[in-house]
Amino acid sequence: MRIEDVLSYLRCPDDSGVLHRREGGLGCAACGRVFPEIGSGVFDLLPLKPNPHALECLCSAHREVYLREFQRSICLEDASLPWGAPEANPQNWANRKRQQVEWLLPHVSAGTASKDLVLCDVSAGSGHYTLRFAADFKYVLHCDLSAPSISYARRRAGQAGLKNVLFCRVDYFSLPIQSVDRLICMDTLIRGPQHEEMLMKSIAGALAPAGVAVADFHNWWHNPLRRMGLLPQNFHDNRSYSKREAHAIVARSGLGRCEYFRYDENRAAPAFLTQYLSWLLPPSRHTFRVAP
């Protein structure tokens, strides 16, 4: 993909200035800062400094990870496996993730011919959605703070022969993105209400007037015994939410239209259970499709 094909969707993360192509990367017309091209189709679009409000709202463990990733350099030769890489997880986990990706696709396209749309995958991680959705969208912007995730997803995209993906190192609190048609942010709203609200507002600012975003929250009621400490904890410092709590966070984000969808990771359950007893089976995720 030529950077010129998607340059109109990118902005300076510091002052929202227009970016233009220049030797070695992208230059901001407002502040003059140059954002380097790390490799073909990979750009470092981090702001100058970490977001101070993010540092305030994150717990100490998450703050430490945020600062460490912010300061790490991208090495495209890095062969390590980031969190979420299928090779680093049990096969049943990878199968559930593929199932979720396929379930999400029609909710993101929302009945529109997606081949004409530009999709931004925020907090894209190892690229489960990017790599699958690239075949259905005109261009995909793979955005993440994690340097190993960027390197891994780019390597996988190259192996798959994908030519329509741009990889952007970003801080999602200062998204250098504007006017995209579709945006997804999955498995990321888990750091606490302040974090989720800040991120949802950042997402709102990246959408086109007719754009659509899809994001999800983990459901507290999906596994309440773990949440109460009666079973071994596997979610650690992360947060899950009731449907009402998730709705309240989305409402405070300033986004307008909002549609709610249940997602149950155990979609292999017998059909009569999902059809007639779904109210007894709490969804694993609260998924929202929102628009400006």
Per-residue pLDDT reduced to its tens digit, 234-268 = 556 789 999 999 999 999 988 878 999 999 876 54
CA distance 250 to 253: 5
What pLDDT, on a 0 to 100 scale, did the predictor assign at position 268? 47
- The whole-chain average pLDDT of the chain stands at 90
Instruction: Taking residues 258-284, report their average pLDDT.
Output: 69
Place of tokens 């709610």: 260
Q: Structure tokens of 4?
A: 């010129």
What pLDDT, on a 0 to 100 scale, did the predictor assign at position 209? 94
* Angle, CA of 164, 48 and 57, to the nearest 5°: 95
Place of tokens 């993360």: 13
Beta strands in 52-164 (DSSP E): 118-122, 139-144
Neighbours of 4 (CB within 10 A): 9
CA distance 287 to 185: 10
Structural domains of the chain, with CATH: 38-290 (3.40.50.150)
Phi and psi angles of residue 148, each rounded to the nearest 5 degrees, phi first: -60, -35
Residue pair 292/211 in contact by the 8 Å Cβ criterion: yes
More confident residue, 227 or 22: 22
Q: Is the pLDDT of residue 278 over 70?
A: no
Q: Is the pLDDT of residue 281 over 80?
A: no
Write out pLDDT tens, residues 181-233.
999 999 999 999 999 999 999 999 999 999 999 999 999 886 655 555 655 55
Task: Give the type of residue at 43.
Answer: F
In the chain, what percentage of residues exceed pLDDT 70?
90
CA distance 162 to 167: 12
Write out pLDDT tens, residues 26-75.
999 999 999 999 999 999 999 999 999 989 999 898 999 999 999 999 99
What pLDDT, on a 0 to 100 scale, did the predictor assign at position 43? 97
